[in-house]
Amino acid sequence: MLSLKGVNVHIGKLHILQGVNLDVKEGESAALLGRNGVGKTTTLRAIMGLVAKSAGAIEFNGTDLATCQPHEIPRKGIGYVPQGRGIFPGLTVLENLCIGVTGKPDAQLEEYVFTCFPRLKERLKQQGSTLSGGEQQMLAIARCLMMRPKLIILDEPTEGIMPRLVSQIRREIHRINQTGISILLVEQNLETALKLCPRIFLMEKGTIVYSGAAQELKTQPEIVHRYLGLSM
């Protein structure tokens, strides 16, 4: 579905991505892990067309994403929930939900979104800025769902959110994946990644240094320690 082959990105004189190889299959849930500053967010920004790659190929369902403008990529079926939520704080919850929808909103889809995130239904007329961090995250994911994506890319969705809402967000991400939508999750929280994603990519200094099953990674604590600085 999504494949990155030898992707290189330069920002100024810095060589940020140094040949990233990564793929997400249809209906799969994969996590991209790594320490701060290794190039995780840049990888996502390269997929979404926000930074230009200097070499390599990024394809989604056979389409070369390098030929697309950033606004065309969501229309191809990739939903992106950026780090720090990325909602429109001055718009109401309802306006945030409908903003990317072309044509008539799908009532059935709306109902599904509100089943996933019932809190949003109670706050439809509230401004985005008045929601809590967790609710804003829910809104950002819900807005993605309204665009009927085939793949959702989430950049640290549980960062800075209170633990009670973290478990709810995890549960809903899992439920979304169960409906056949692929997930690419960028996380620093190993526990969240291992719970949600059967496949893990580890990143270090702009390149993928490990790719394999989550179960396999659990049996290799030295790799986790080396690349994430964590002990299992």
Partner 1 sequence: MIRTFVERFLLVAFAAFLVSVPWVVPVIANKFWVSVIAEILIWSIFAASVNLLFGYVGLLSFGQALFFGFGMYGVGIGIDQLHLSFWSAFAFGVSAAMAMALITGIFAVRLTWHYFAIITIVFSLIFYFLAVRLKPLTGGDDGINFSLPPVFSFGATRYSLTDQTFQYFFILAIFAICFYLMYLVTRSPLGRAFLAIRENDLRASLIGLNVYVLRLIAFVMAGFLAGVSGALFAFFGRYASATYMFYHVSGDGVVWAIVGGAGTLFGPVVGTTLFIFIRELVSTHWEHHSLIVGVMAILVVMLAPKGLVGLWREGLSRIGEQKTSSELNAKARLRSQP
Chain-centre distance for alpha carbon 112: 20
In the block, tokens 């807005």 appear at 143
For the CB of residue 95, give the shortest distance to partner 1 in the complex, in Å. 5
For the CB of residue 49, give the shortest distance to partner 1 in the complex, in Å. 9
Of the pair 146, 193, the CB lying nearest partner 1 is at 146
For the CB of residue 152, give the shortest distance to partner 1 in the complex, in Å. 12
Q: What separation in angstroms does the CA of 24 have from each of 1, 79, 177? A: 6, 14, 12
Of the pair 89, 118, the CB lying nearest partner 1 is at 89
Interface residue list for partner 1 (CB under 8 A): 48, 50, 69-75, 80, 82, 86-91, 95, 98-102, 143, 147
User: Is the dihedral angle over the CA atoms 83, 88, 92, 98 positive or is it negative?
Assistant: negative
Of the pair 38, 68, the CB lying nearest partner 1 is at 68
Of the pair 13, 104, the CB lying nearest partner 1 is at 104
How far is residue 138's CA from residue 161's CA, in Å, rounded to a whole number?
A: 11
For the CB of residue 81, give the shortest distance to partner 1 in the complex, in Å. 9
Contact between 65 and 77 under an 8 Å Cβ cutoff? The reply is no
